[in-house]
């Protein structure tokens, strides 16, 4: 035992209090360390650079909907219909995703109200296998749209996905026309379908229900596109402009209707529902 250890044993002070490992987080954009409590109070937005962090379905629903909303049942579909295996079996990937997520798959929906305006809100969670669109996501989207039809209210969809789920092959791509049909039914019923584009929204999701809304709202800095920037650049063999595929660039070029800060999202959605909803749903 060293002299320092002997001295420490005789000191009247207790052991140094240990602080939790998750007391601080680092902003992925500005790299500043942020007190977690402050970060959560800001709705997971960096107070230094305004970077909008990725959040899960439950947190997103609680930020948008009034208290007392009803979670819609998670659909149950055939799992691993293709018996897919790459470096891991698909069933093992699903088990790992569900072990770290409170929901059964990447799309969670709820029925409630936004500042008193009735609405169904569906949220795609990027933390569940990159928010990828498989049969369960397709079923959850269609069920949520049908609930909006049944309740005669607006449907708000928050997207965040890397695209279709490759482990389900053509079955995942079939969810694109299914979701498109449901958006058409909402339109025929005169019900508003509002899309909130969160970071990132890409691939087959962008090619279907993410860009079929009556109004498209993007969160600041969100990556929105179909193919990746590297693929596009190598295909056209030209340097892409600064900010390409980011929310502000798409807004400037007419691809989205507005870029809205997360703290203003709830109020903005409530106003849109009031403007767009038919008289019975208002």
10 Å Cβ neighbour count for 135?
Answer: 20
Mean pLDDT of 124-130: 97
Q: Do 74 and 104 form a contact (C-beta atoms < 8 A)?
A: yes
**How high is the pLDDT of residue 22?**
76
128, 247, 122: which is closest to 194 by C-alpha?
A: 122
Convert the pLDDT of each residue in 207-221 to its tens digit: 999 999 999 999 999
Q: Which residues contact 31 (CB under 8 A, 6 or more apart)?
A: none
**How high is the pLDDT of residue 278?**
79
d(CA 53, CA 221): 10
Look-up of token digits 């030209």: 238
Q: How far is CA 202 from CA 48, 133, 163, 209, 242, in A?
A: 27, 11, 5, 11, 18
Burial code of 163-175, b = ≥16 C-beta within 10 A, e = fewer? bbbebbeebbbeb
d(CA 45, CA 198): 13
Mean pLDDT of 158-182: 97
* 267: its two tokens: 């109020």
**How high is the pLDDT of residue 6?**
60
Examine the pLDDT at 159 and tell me if it is beyond 90: yes
**How high is the pLDDT of residue 1?**
57
Mean pLDDT of 53-65: 97
**How high is the pLDDT of residue 25?**
92
Burial code of 187-212, b = ≥16 C-beta within 10 A, e = fewer? eeeebbbbbbbbbbbbbbbbbbbbbb
10 Å Cβ neighbour count for 243?
Answer: 12
Mean pLDDT of 243-258: 97
Mean pLDDT of 15-24: 62
Examine the pLDDT at 152 and tell me if it is beyond 90: yes
Helices (H) and strands (E) in the chain, counts: 11, 9
Q: Do 166 and 176 form a contact (C-beta atoms < 8 A)?
A: no
Average pLDDT, the chain: 92
Examine the pLDDT at 11 and tell me if it is beyond 90: no
Q: Do 186 and 147 form a contact (C-beta atoms < 8 A)?
A: no
Rounded to 5°, the CA angle 48-51-57 comes to: 130
Which range, of 2-6, 168-172, 238-242, averages the lowest pLDDT? 2-6
d(CA 111, CA 155): 9
**How high is the pLDDT of residue 8?**
56
**How high is the pLDDT of residue 198?**
98
* 82: its two tokens: 């293709």
* pLDDT grade for 150, boundaries at 50, 70 and 90: very high
**How high is the pLDDT of residue 180?**
97
For the chain, give the percent of residues with pLDDT over 90.
88
Convert the pLDDT of each residue in 60-113 to its tens digit: 999 999 999 999 999 999 999 999 999 999 999 999 999 999 999 999 999 999
Which range, of 5-9, 127-131, 215-219, 251-255, averages the lowest pLDDT? 5-9
For the chain, give the percent of residues with pLDDT over 70.
91
Mean pLDDT of 174-189: 97
- The answer to whether the bond into 202 is cis (omega within 30° of 0) is no
**How high is the pLDDT of residue 5?**
64
């Amino acid at each position: 035992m060293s002299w320092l250890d002997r001295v420490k044993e005789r000191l009247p002070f207790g052991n140094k209090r240990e602080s939790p490992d998750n007391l601080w987080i680092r902003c992925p954009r500005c790299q500043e360390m942020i007190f977690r409590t402050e970060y959560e109070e800001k709705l997971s937005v960096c107070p230094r650079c305004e970077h909008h962090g990725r959040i899960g379905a439950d947190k997103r629903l609680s930020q948008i909907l009034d208290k007392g909303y009803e979670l819609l049942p998670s659909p149950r579909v055939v799992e691993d219909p293709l018996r897919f295996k790459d470096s891991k079996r698909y069933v093992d990937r699903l088990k790992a995703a569900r072990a770290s997520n409170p929901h059964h798959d990447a799309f969670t929906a709820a029925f409630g109200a936004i500042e008193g305006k009735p609405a169904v809100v569906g949220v795609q969670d990027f933390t569940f296998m990159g928010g990828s669109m498989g049969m369960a996501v397709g079923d959850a989207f269609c069920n949520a749209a049908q609930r909006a039809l049944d309740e005669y209210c607006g449907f708000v969809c928050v997207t965040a996905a890397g695209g279709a789920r490759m482990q389900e092959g053509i079955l995942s791509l079939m969810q694109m026309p299914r979701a498109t049909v449901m958006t058409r039914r909402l339109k025929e019923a005169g019900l508003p379908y509002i899309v909130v584009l969160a970071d990132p929204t890409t691939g087959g999701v962008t090619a279907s229900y993410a860009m079929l809304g009556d109004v498209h709202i993007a969160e600041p800095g969100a990556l929105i596109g179909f193919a990746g920037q590297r693929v596009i650049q190598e295909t056209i063999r030209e340097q892409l402009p600064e900010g390409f595929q980011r929310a502000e660039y798409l807004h400037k070029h007419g691809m989205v209707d507005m870029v809205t800060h997360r703290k203003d999202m709830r109020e903005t959605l409530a106003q849109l529902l009031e403007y767009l909803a038919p008289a019975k749903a208002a």
